[in-house]
Amino acid sequence: MKLDIMTMSLLSKYVSLIFPDYRFEKILLEFERTMSMELDFTQEAKNSERTTSCFRKNDVVKVPHVFWELTTKEVLTMEFCTGHKVDDLDFLRKADISPTKVAKALIELFGEMIFIHGFVHGDPHPGNILVSPRGQGRFSLVLLDHGIYKELDPKFRLDYCKLWKALISLDVQKILELGEQFGVGKYAKYFPLIFTGRTIDSKSALGTQISGEEKTRIKQDLNSLGMDDISSFMESLPPDFLVILRTDGLLRSILGNLGAPRHVRLLAYAKCAIYGHEEQSRLESGAINRITLQIKTSISYLHLRILIELARLLVQFNDYKHKAKDKLSWMLQKISREVLGWYKALM
């Protein structure tokens, strides 16, 4: 591993000499750190037990038990758990398990990791998440491979909660303000595009497809970016953000494979962001203040949920409208063919 890291480091330096705008040494250092962690199996076992503790009240999440008497730095011995890859649609259909329910459970699991616990599984590809049937459409999500975890900085976690609240409500001023705190400056305007698929000045409803005019404007804007912009953006991001981006990218891919509606992710993240933001305040408050905070949190979540649900209904309405239009067009074509057939028969 050390030889591979050294080779990658040398190649990176040579490339940066030829292309000065290429500056990804920071990513290489983070890669080296995470790989070193993954090769220590006692650390993986500790991560596994900490995750078990975080989700002890969640009966959907299953983390294999560690047998410490048979575990060393080089050998990890865990409970054997059965299941199929989380995006195995054929298996889910045969087991009568709803792919949308699996997607919802999955994104809520990782939303809680990111926004509330601040302890994030760094490699959630389909092979590391199994669906284990429990009968009558019920299931467990078995979480494997706890080698790479990222413990988020408490301030970063709270700011990330604030960012998602601002993204859902498209609070432009707050997004730009948080961009300054994250150190990305002018590139903060791309946060809505990266996370929710709409521009910072979008007029489209949350969760809907952006307009053709917006697509054209996005292409023009992105075409104006050079390698120096991309390097500057990546270098400016805190290390915690790089982990979040990778994790969210993998999760979105799985949700896409499961055919989950876009609002499932938005709603789960909105809920976790609100509860994560108020978590510290609840810990520091007295009993009466905790009740007030709980009410405030519930109202904030209800407000964001209404925004997302309205957007979802709008998407469904547009889908029904297009389907009705297609159906009507098909009926008119069929009637036209039949009329033409009768006319030819009469002639």
Q: Which residues are annotated as catalytic? A: 123
Cβ atoms of 103 and 264 within 8 Å: the answer is yes
Residue-wise burial string across 301-330, b where 16 or more C-beta atoms lie within 10 A, e elsewhere: beebbebbeebbeebeeeeeeeeeeeeeee
Residue 101: closest CA among 268, 224, 275, 341: 268
Is 151 strand, coil or helix? strand
Residue 191: closest CA among 261, 244, 120: 244
Determine the residue type at 222. Answer: L
Supply 331's token pair: 């009926």
Cβ atoms of 46 and 68 within 8 Å: the answer is no
Element (H, E) at 248: helix 239-257
Cβ atoms of 175 and 167 within 8 Å: the answer is yes
Residue 77 half-sphere exposure, CB side, CA atoms within 13 Å? 6
